[in-house]
A and B are shown apart, each in its own frame.
Chain A
Amino acid sequence: MMKYPSGIEKPSKEHFRFYAAYYLPIYAGIKAYTIDELIEGLRRVDGLSIFYHVFHPLFASHVMPEDLHNDFAVWIKNELHLDDLAYEISDIPGAEPRTVEDVRKDLIDILSRDKYDARAKRPFSFISCKPVIYDTGKEASNLAELMDLIASITFRAIGYHFVFKRVMGYSQKNDFSSWIERNYEEFTELGKRLSSLDPQTYTEEEKLRKDIISIIMEVFKR
């Protein structure tokens, strides 16, 4: 039986209000058949397009988690059969404080290193997206409630607070860490541990939720 950590029910100075978001896909007007065209597309599309393709496997509700972490890698492997390149593109790091612009730069750098002749039968269609954000009506007034809500709320809220705002550059770090650090000085380590979790290499939403909860439990155990 886990020891119940003291202080987690201490009221926070500010409540944590949970919002959630869906991202409606929009055709970005660019199709790529080759690596060169993919690079050109990466240069032209907006940040939301990078966000969409990097996190699409995470939000796609696939029945089986994919072994490649983003759409670019899947296309490079399935259509161009450049397996090693696909794996490298798949595993680009995305932990804080990196944003979609850092990811864009990494993608272009890796793809530009060599020349590739392969041409796909089916193009990579660049897609962007527009977020639609809604208030879930739920809020936490202490750390214990935050933990309970992370465990039970729609993943769309976790994705919004833990992934979207930070990788799109609206905030420096994920909302959970920021809130913990602002409200619970004694739990700043928890904030830091959550910040070190890289959501970009997840393709299954419940796995990410589980790992966030595991970090919380680990810190509480100490």
Chain B
Amino acid sequence: MIEKYSSIIGEDELDSIFKIAEKLKGLSILHVNSTAAGGGVAEILSKLVPLMNELGIKTDWKVIRGDQQFFTVTKAFHNSLQNGKGELPQNAFETYKKWQEINGNELDLDYDIVFIHDPQPAGLIEFRKKLGSKWIWRCHIDISQPYDVVWNFLRAYISKYNSMIVSSAIFGRSDLNIPQFIIPPSIDPLSIKNRDIPDITVYRILNKFDVDPDRPIITQVSRFDRAKDPVGVIQTYKLVKRHIDAQLVYLGSPASDDPEGEIVYKETVAAAGDDKDIKLLMLPPNSDLEVNVFQRASNVVMQKSIKEGFGLTVSESLWKRRPVIGGNTGGIPLQVIHGVTGYLVDTVEEAAHYALFLLRHTEIANKLGNNGHEHVRTNFVITRELKDYLMAAYLTMFPGTEIPK
């Protein structure tokens, strides 16, 4: 399987992965997270774990269990860490501790290197038994401005880890004394969401959702969440529409765990009004083929976030050679290089200006899209993340700086 990436990343890069993996031969690795399917973490683990095994490193993946009460608590943790606001269910910390204990006693955690993903299983560190084992906390979310009560509760666990991983330096914490490796997330170019698909499939799906392939399409793929500024996207489109007969596709999925989602969706519907060229699509999670189609069929892709974790939909679109207009926040500036792979914006007016510019100048849109593809190929493909994980594991297992040869 890993050989399939050779045509994308080149032989040198693939060779370096094998060489670095050799340093971990004989060690066992475990990944633990809170869900086997759905969401970005499960998606990346479903790829990384087989790849690590293919490299000859014994790697397992285990999923913690919990009742609805536990997952309500961890969802509240998640929100409060990202938005800095504290609305916790009653006895939240007790519930969290109870399920750490249940999972800690049920799961075999005796591996040489243990990656714990996100806050849900972070407390398992209390159940480390194997002498000399190294534990790494992989944080996939923005913890730069957390709700202090929750952060301090989790920090007591995290400070016991040997190292941790954040997605960007802007999420780095100054109140922890463990090494914080910086590993941005990645996309899998071979997945259904990103691989090439035949034109006939593109046309069929556009037709299914009543989108005209012969007129310009602007797309944003995001949850209906104020942080993603869906109303700002509608306003942007309306400014563009004064000049060009464009269509807007806003592709989201229902967020049952987000009580604000419904409200934001209604606000977006109200902002859209009766414009038939605005398609607000609520598709089930894992509608990967549809995401692929709409990103691919678009002339311009937007990720007009006001606050963002990493915003991997940007890399997905760039991979498909589509220029992206992105909010200047979170991990978006790592992917959108202003004037090179797209444009960074702070306001609706800026977004509309650049959308109009790209729709008028298709040759520039194509150039930016091609640049974007190359930028993703060299920086945000899954094999780079795989290599970074191997290096983080190695440097945590053997923490001294290597003596140059």
**Contact residues of A with B, CB < 8 Å?**
17, 19-20, 22, 24-27, 29-31, 48, 60-64, 122-123, 125, 127, 130-137, 153-154, 156, 160, 164-165, 168, 170-171
Contacts and interface: CB of A to CB of B under 8 A. Distances in A.
A166 to B, nearest CB: 10
B206 interface: no
Contacts of B180: 26-27, 29
B99 interface: no
Nearest to B18: A134
Given A63-B374, A131-B401, A165-B404, A22 B172 contact: no
Contacts of B12: 153-154, 156
Contacts of A31: 172, 174
Interface in B160-184: 166, 169-170, 172-174, 179-183
A170 B395 CA distance: 20
A203 to B, nearest CB: 13
Interface of B: 12-13, 15-16, 19-20, 22-23, 166, 169-170, 172-174, 179-183, 337, 340-341, 371, 374-375, 378-379, 387-388, 391-392, 394-395, 401-402, 404-405
Given A20-B19, A156-B16, 10 more contacts: A60-B379, A61-B379, A62-B337, A64-B371, A131-B401, A132-B394, A132-B402, A134-B19, A136-B15, A154-B15
Given A26-B182, A62-B375, A132 B395 contact: yes
Contacts of B181: 24-27
A9 B405 CA distance: 25
Given A64-B340, A132-B391, A22 B166 contact: no
Contacts of A170: 404
Nearest to B169: A125
A154 B182 contact: no
A25 B395 CA distance: 11
Contact of B174 (A20, A22, A29, A156): A29
A22 B378 contact: no
A137 B387 CA distance: 19
Contacts of A132: 20, 23, 391, 394-395, 402
